[in-house]
Amino acid sequence: MKAFIFDMDGVIIDSEPIHFDIDVKTMNFFGVTISPHELDEFVGMTNPEMWKILKQKFNISHSVSEIIEYQLSLKIELIRSTEIGPINGIYELILELKKLNILLGIASSSPIKFINEVLLKFKILEYFDCIVSGEEVAKGKPEPDVYLEAAKLLGVDPSECIVLEDSKNGIQSAKSAGMKCFGFINQNSGNQDLSKADIIVNSIRGIKVTDL
């Protein structure tokens, strides 16, 4: 292993409840009633891909960009105003990896603006050698593009990377990129099939760097 690549939502920050709540409110604002459970299948997908499907399914008249602008403003406002910290064990895992001179990357489906807001709030931005948003590549998760781009920026072969993910779409993305993958069971990420992960853990502290 030369590089460890983190997903962000549901792995570094327990943000899926935030996303579900804001996305439901966004749908309500644009005249659609939906339950959080109906959004489970979109965990790990980029905003443009998710809203394109929802816009078509519910015949929303506003553009995808208008929907995202409203949604993102609510999420950033909430992150800035809420007392929230990283998922238990993340600080320790990052520091242990850095001590071993392992390259660190972020490969998230969230917009780069939201990624930066989270990493700055947690004061961990400086630890990452690359950050890639799924909106910056041709195809988001479950396609491998975001992880392949992260490996390219880190200057390592995909086979030398280990990924930490919490969603079916994310694990499929990492495996399609030719990377090993931890599947983290986060109950707040909805009903996710993590069976394709190489190792499944119930807590971040269950990841033993010395075993890698």
Annotate 138-160 with DSSP letters as a single string: SS-TTSSHHHHHHHHHHT--GGG
Amino acid at 17: P
Q: Is 193 a catalytic residue?
A: no
CATH assignment of 16-81, among 1.10.760, 1.10.260, 1.20.58, 1.10.150: 1.10.150
Confidence of residue 26 (pLDDT cuts 50, 70, 90): very high
What global pTM score does this model have? Answer: 0.87
Res 116: pLDDT: 95
State the span(s) of the chain assigned CATH 1.10.150.
16-81
Amino acid at 111: P
210 vs 1 pLDDT, higher one: 1
CATH assignment of 3-14+86-211, among 1.10.240.10, 3.40.50.1000, 3.90.1150.10, 1.10.20.10: 3.40.50.1000
Q: Is the per-residue pLDDT at 170 higher than 80?
A: yes
Q: For the segment 42-92, what is each residue's pLDDT rounded down to a tens digit?
A: 888 888 999 999 999 999 999 999 999 999 999 999 999 988 999 999 999
State the span(s) of the chain assigned CATH 3.40.50.1000.
3-14+86-211
Tell me how far apart the alpha carbons of residues 26 and 202 are, in angstroms, rounded to a whole number: 31
Res 142: pLDDT: 95
Q: Evaluate the CA torsion angle 101, 158, 42, 25 in order and state its sign.
A: positive
| 3-class SS of residue 74 | helix
The pairing of strands 103-108 and 130-133 is parallel
Q: Is 21 a catalytic residue?
A: no
Q: Are 12 and 116 in contact (CB under 8 A)?
A: no
